[in-house]
Amino acid sequence: MALKQIIIVDDLDENLFLVSKILKSNFPEYKLLLIDNAAEAFEACIANKPDLVITDWDMPKTSGIQLITLLKNNPSTSNIPIIIATGVMTSSEHLREALEKGAIDYIRKPFDEIELFARTKAALQLTEYYHKSIENKNYELSIRAINSIQNKNFVATITQKLNELKPLTNSTEAFSIIDSILESLEMQKQKNSWKHFDKSFRNTHNDYLKRLMQQHPTISNSELKLCNLIYLGMSCKKIAETLNQTDQSIRVSRSRLRKKLQLNSKQNIELYLKQI
């Protein structure tokens, strides 16, 4: 299970202490990462993919608004909910600017414990909904991948049997029916092809695929297919069944893929792919 984490960003230690104290008592299951500048916070978000960022607006060098812009412009962090805290930029124009930049909510300073709790809870519920949505989509894609290959194999078997049957019939009508069935089977095979699954996967995880190709431009099509199935959390056994290969061949391919991705023995390949 992924680590639950909230990143709090403020250049004043007293604010970091206060916010962390309130959140620790109300959300003990979340790890809190306290950071005093936006640049370090941005790097931490890329590395950790937190469930929520609570950032001060007015900070030296890089402001909270600039941090929001950086996070929203980066595909790997664009879905992280951000709450901005401010005691100065409180006009309706300021708040509208923050929301337009990508913040989902704001908190006024000085902090009110009930308000901080309520807004944080709402943001975390949004993150939880997003994660469940992705999990459901991944499950659907896994089922689609398995069904796609199984249907293709089934259609190929039936097609072979029908082609073997054709020379054994002397009936023109029967011959015509067999040809009609073969045509329907071919249409079904096209409908359930791997291309159909691949299109669905790209529609759901297009940003991930772009980042994967950018970081590993030499990855082959077969390796990319394996990456996608691993990303969905499929075991070697299930991948072997899906691709109609042996467990051993998938394990060998997976080992070669790890070397291609330059992963050490302690790195989890599925986790690595999901963090790209």
Q: How confident is the model at residue 1 (pLDDT cuts 50, 70, 90)?
A: very low
Residue 244: left (phi > 0), alpha (psi -120 to 50), or beta? left
Residue 185 lies in a domain: no
| End position of a domain, from candidates 111, 127, 161 | 111
Tokens of 213: 């190709």
Q: Flag whether pLDDT at 131 surpasses 60.
A: yes
Q: Flag whether pLDDT at 109 surpasses 80.
A: yes
Across 67-91, average pLDDT: 87
Across 50-71, average pLDDT: 94
Laid out side by side, the sheet with 82-86 consists of 31-35, 5-9, 52-56, 82-86, 105-108
| Mutual angle of helices 113-165 and 194-204, in 10-degree steps | 170
Residue 163 lies in a domain: no
Q: Flag whether pLDDT at 200 surpasses 70.
A: yes
Q: How confident is the model at residue 6 (pLDDT cuts 50, 70, 90)?
A: very high
Nearest C-alpha neighbor of 255 from the set 214, 223, 228: 223
Residue 128 lies in a domain: no
Contact between residue 231 and residue 273 where contact means Cβ atoms under 8 Å apart: yes
Question: How do residues 10-52 score in pLDDT, each as one tens digit?
Answer: 999 999 999 999 999 999 999 999 999 999 999 999 988 899 9
CB contact set of 52 (below 8 Å; sequence gap of 6+): 6, 7, 80, 81, 82, 83, 120, 123, 124, 127
Residue 119 lies in a domain: no
- Phi/psi at 50 (5° precision): -65, 165
| End position of a domain, from candidates 111, 145, 177 | 111
Q: Flag whether pLDDT at 111 surpasses 70.
A: yes
Give the H or E element holding residue 276.
none
Q: Distance between CA atoms of 271 and 164, rounded to whole angstroms?
A: 47
- State the pLDDT at residue 141: 72
Contact between residue 220 and residue 253 where contact means Cβ atoms under 8 Å apart: no
Highest mean pLDDT among 31-45, 76-90, 182-196: 31-45
Q: Distance between CA atoms of 79 and 275, rounded to whole angstroms?
A: 13
Q: What percent of the chain has pLDDT over 70?
A: 89
Residue 169 lies in a domain: no
Contact between residue 232 and residue 142 where contact means Cβ atoms under 8 Å apart: yes
- State the pLDDT at residue 149: 64
Question: How do residues 222-269 score in pLDDT, each as one tens digit?
Answer: 899 899 889 888 888 888 877 778 889 999 999 999 999 999 888 899
pTM: 0.57
CA distances from 88 to 80, 94, 107, 118, 262 (A): 24, 9, 11, 21, 47
- State the pLDDT at residue 148: 67
The 3-state DSSP class for residue 257 equals helix
- DSSP type of residue 30: S
Tell me how many domains the chain contains: 2
Domain that holds residue 27: 5-111
Supply the CATH number for residue 72's domain: 3.40.50.2300
Q: How confident is the model at residue 2 (pLDDT cuts 50, 70, 90)?
A: low
Contact between residue 65 and residue 90 where contact means Cβ atoms under 8 Å apart: no
- State the pLDDT at residue 162: 83
Residue 215 lies in a domain: yes
| End position of a domain, from candidates 85, 111, 137 | 111
Residue 164 lies in a domain: no
Residue 199 lies in a domain: no
Supply the CATH number for residue 247's domain: 1.10.10.10
Question: How do residues 134-166 score in pLDDT, each as one tens digit?
Answer: 667 776 776 666 666 666 677 777 888 888 888
Which range has the worst mean pLDDT, 2-6, 128-132, 210-214?
A: 128-132
Q: Flag whether pLDDT at 133 surpasses 80.
A: no
